[in-house]
Amino acid sequence: MFQKEFADRLTANPGDKMYCRLSVNTQLLAKVEHLMKVKRTEFRPPPKVDSAVVRIQPKNPPPPINFPEWDGLVRIAFLRKNKTLLAIFKQNQMIALLEKNYKVFCSVKNIPIPPKLDMKEKIEKILTESGFAQKRARSLDIDDFLALLLAFNKEGIHFA
């Protein structure tokens, strides 16, 4: 049993007002089901909020995914869930972070770093070619986030 607002976040679907990083990560790792609402008047003394009962069944086996990297992408996407992904990823801080991660990846894998690396252009190209440039985090489901992570990883951009 959880506070109703928290339960709503756990069970939210893409497009819902309550859809957030918690929803995506929980639904990636478990099947989440809203069972019932429990009104505050059912308790003595009554709390200030309503509650809800939620069933959380872990997926067995868990998805074969690098969770820190997954969470890094989802964290970035939900910084401003109502902005387009292109607008989020074009921010100077984001470009600097991804460029740093890219250079670390290249040095670990012994891949030469292109002399005229334009990370902003590279990110725009990835988002445009994968069809995510004008999409917003609030409307992406788990499969969309997986496809986006794969598109970035194919180009050597990592989030952890």
Give 136's DSSP letter.
B
Phi/psi for 122 (5° steps) reads: -60, -45
**Going by CATH, does the domain composed of 67-154 fall within 1.10.8.480?**
yes
What is the identity of the amino acid at 74? V
100-159 pLDDT per residue, tens: 999 988 888 888 888 888 999 999 999 999 999 999 999 999 999 999 999 999 998 999
Tell me which residue has tokens 């074009």.
90
13-66 pLDDT per residue, tens: 999 999 999 999 999 999 999 999 999 999 899 899 999 999 999 999 989 999
Residue 142: both structure tokens together:
């788990």
Every domain of the chain and the residues it spans: 2-58, 67-154
Distance of CA 111 to the CA centre of its chain: 28
Q: Please list, residue by residue across 104-132, b when 16 or more beta carbons sit within 10 angstroms of its beta carbon and e when fewer do.
A: eeeeeeeeeeeeeeebbebbeebbeebeb
What pLDDT is stored for residue 114 in this prediction? 84
User: Does 1 count as an annotated binding residue?
Assistant: yes
pTM over the 0.85 mark: yes
